[in-house]
Amino acid sequence: MWWVWLIVSVLIAAFIIFIVLPLIYILYKRNYWRWHQVPFEPPAPKIEILQQLFGFRRTHDWEELEHYDQLYRNFKGRGPFCGFYRLMQPRALILERELIMQILSKNFSNFNDRGIYHNSKNDPLSADLYSRRGSEWKEMRLRLEPIFAKDEMRSLYEGLYASCAESLNSFDQLVHDERAHSGYIEIRTQMRRYVLTCMAACVFDLNGQRQQKYPLNLFDDMIHLERTTSRHNEFVNAFLRRYPRLSKKLKLRTTSKDVEAYFTELINEVVNEREQSGAEKKDYLQLLVNLMQQELSTHEVQDQSMNELRQHLMYELAAHAITFLKAGLRPTTHTLTYVLYELALNDPIQQQLRDEVADALQRHNNELTYECVRELKFLGQIISETIRLHPVVPYLIRRTLTEFPVPNNDKYKLPKDMFIIVPTHAIHNDAEYYPDPFIFKPERFVGSENKKRDICMWLGFGEGPRSCIGLHFAQVLMRMLLAQLITRYHFSVDRTRLMVKPQNVIRLRVEPLNEEPEGREADVVI
């Protein structure tokens, strides 16, 4: 009868391995913060977790924003951080500014990982600056920082100004056409078109002639596909985050092959064309090409290995270009849209800005030069206040590389490999740091007021070594357009559709300045 005992033993072992241990693991995870005696929000019901894991229920960005805001309000003052759950994974939301400074700046080396999966070998476009960590990230950041420095903006300004002029001509025509109808313009679409045109020209050399082969609409579709199309469901994405090494061995990708083929073909064509002609343009793509050539010149290898190195660097160049586009397109569009919306709501501020731009132009022979743009201090305050009130990224995410004891608080520790959230939107709307937080006040960012505020209490471009590398580019792009729009047009809101929370559609009335007003009989007809 020994075989009976063997079968029973196997069944018991299987029951323990496949039933008991997983249940114990689930019980441990769902009570993680309780056992660590940290204030926490209970996990979601099991059925809701299963729905999210297998794609039957999707969490929207605005739901996540409201969730983090609520956690911040509910737990602030009860500890340096609180616990919550993302599916079954325990996470921490940071509540105290001193701990925020530790994470983003003072002890940055332990928090330089965003926890994003990438696979440089099988999915080269995923291995960008945003997703890398540790020494890989540090090396790449050091190589890229010089070409994104403030000093480079002067040489790029002329090309950006030409793209801006092209967009303004289209905007002028749209305003003219719309005045025969409602007079209202959906402003987000126009701002996105402007940013897309400028970045396509500066980062991909997508000029008018090349657009015959690579139409701007198709270019935009590929960006949309890259940003919004997930190759995997939530279950696989969780697996990628939890087991990146195994995922790389399994050759898992996150980039669509159509996206990879399109952008690598475009980049290869432009780079080869420049190398053959010997032409150098004043744009960001040329700075990336120069960086690639510098890398090639420092390696002495055989021809075959040199070809492999060149191919690797071309993929890296494409990854940098796409990342710059992804990181810049939506945030810059978002900020421009809300700057105009807030100006439309606040007519005295709009006029004050118009006066500042007029004074600056008078000092520079009525030319919007690079120096003129840099002098627009009040415009800079408006942009900063807009980002405070409408942050592009409502939170920052990091992952601990090692266990981190919270300074001056022995009870609290951030465990190794823990995802942590810094709630940007909640901090920006905290009355402790910003009195009357829901009122638009650009004067909050006057120099003297800025000095009173801790550096980590405004996180519009992040903070510390991992802050936004393209912030100077974004600032010039926004100031250049806004300075010209505000001297040409008056903006007002559509009072029939006032916005009470972030929406995709923002309609503004745009009226040319210094022009005789037209009849408004149609507005009062019953």
Question: Is residue 392 in a domain?
Answer: no
Question: Is residue 111 in a domain?
Answer: yes
Q: 188 vs 88, which has greater pLDDT?
A: 188
Interhelix angle 471-488/303-345, nearest 10 degrees: 40
* Percent of the chain as helix, strand, coil, to the nearest 5: 60, 10, 30
Query: Would you call 245 helix, strand, or coil by DSSP?
Result: helix
Question: Is residue 411 in a domain?
Answer: yes
Distance of CA 215 to the CA centre of its chain: 25
CA distance 349 to 17: 67
- pLDDT grade for 434, boundaries at 50, 70 and 90: very high
Q: For residue 369, what pLDDT is reported? A: 93
- pLDDT grade for 300, boundaries at 50, 70 and 90: low
- pLDDT grade for 184, boundaries at 50, 70 and 90: confident
Position 475 pLDDT exceeds 80 = yes
pLDDT digits (tens, 9 = 90+) for 39-97: 999 887 777 766 776 666 666 677 788 899 999 999 999 999 999 998 788 999 999 99
* Contact predicate 29/88, CB 8 Å: yes
CA distance 143 to 313: 13
pLDDT digits (tens, 9 = 90+) for 114-135: 888 888 888 888 888 778 877 8
Q: For residue 423, what pLDDT is reported? A: 94
CA distance 44 to 525: 54
CA distance 110 to 21: 32
Q: Where are the beta strands (DSSP E) in 95-200?
A: 184-186
Question: Is residue 345 in a domain?
Answer: no
The partner residues of 123 in beta bridges, in order of sequence, read 119
Q: Which residues of 95-105 are buried (b: 16+ CB within 10 A; e: fewer)?
A: bbbbbbbbbbb
- pLDDT grade for 485, boundaries at 50, 70 and 90: very high
CA distance 282 to 213: 22
Question: Is residue 171 in a domain?
Answer: no
pLDDT digits (tens, 9 = 90+) for 262-299: 988 998 888 888 888 887 888 888 888 888 888 777 76
- pLDDT grade for 152, boundaries at 50, 70 and 90: confident
Position 136 pLDDT exceeds 50 = yes
Q: 488 vs 303, which has greater pLDDT?
A: 488
Lowest mean pLDDT among 128-142, 253-267, 415-429: 128-142
Overall domain count for the chain: 1
The partner residues of 184 in beta bridges, in order of sequence, read 509
* Contact predicate 227/130, CB 8 Å: no
Residue type, 454: D
Q: 514 vs 112, which has greater pLDDT?
A: 112
- pLDDT grade for 233, boundaries at 50, 70 and 90: low
DSSP annotation string for 391-460: -SSS-EEEE-SS-EEPTT-TT-EE-TT-EEEE-HHHHHT-TTTSSSTTS--GGGGSHHHHHHS-GGG--B
Q: For residue 424, what pLDDT is reported? A: 93
CA distance 234 to 48: 13
Question: Is residue 330 in a domain?
Answer: no
Query: Would you call 239 helix, strand, or coil by DSSP?
Result: helix
CA distance 92 to 505: 33
pLDDT digits (tens, 9 = 90+) for 369-410: 999 999 999 999 999 999 999 988 888 999 998 999 999 888
The tokens of 368 are what?
């919007």
Residue among 477, 478, 479, 471 at smallest CA distance from 145: 471
Lowest mean pLDDT among 57-71, 327-341, 469-483: 57-71
Q: For residue 306, what pLDDT is reported? A: 67
CA distance 513 to 486: 9
CA distance 105 to 111: 9
Residue among 328, 326, 331, 321 at smallest CA distance from 203: 321
The predicted model scores a pTM of: 0.88
**What share of the chain has pLDDT > 90, as a percent?**
32
- pLDDT grade for 242, boundaries at 50, 70 and 90: confident
Q: For residue 521, what pLDDT is reported? A: 45
- As a whole number, mean pLDDT of residues 136-155 equals 81
The tokens of 176 are what?
């003219």
CA distance 327 to 333: 11
Q: For residue 431, what pLDDT is reported? A: 92
* Contact predicate 388/435, CB 8 Å: no
Contacts of 253 (CB under 8 A, 6+ apart): 119, 122, 123, 126, 231
Q: For residue 255, what pLDDT is reported? A: 83
Q: For residue 525, what pLDDT is reported? A: 42
Q: In what order do the strands lie in the sheet with 507-512?
A: 184-186, 507-512, 489-493
CA distance 430 to 435: 8
CA distance 167 to 172: 9
Q: For residue 522, what pLDDT is reported? A: 44
Question: Is residue 491 in a domain?
Answer: no
Q: For residue 368, what pLDDT is reported? A: 94
The tokens of 276 are what?
């053959």
CA distance 145 to 158: 21
Instruction: Give me the domain span that covers residue 73.
Output: 21-116+402-428
Q: Which residues of 37-64 are buried (b: 16+ CB within 10 A; e: fewer)?
A: ebbbbebbeeeebeebbeeeeeeeeeee
Position 506 pLDDT exceeds 50 = yes
Position 231 pLDDT exceeds 60 = no
Residue with tokens 């494409």: 318
Q: 366 vs 13, which has greater pLDDT?
A: 366
Question: Is residue 84 in a domain?
Answer: yes
User: Across the chain, what does the average pLDDT equal?
Assistant: 84
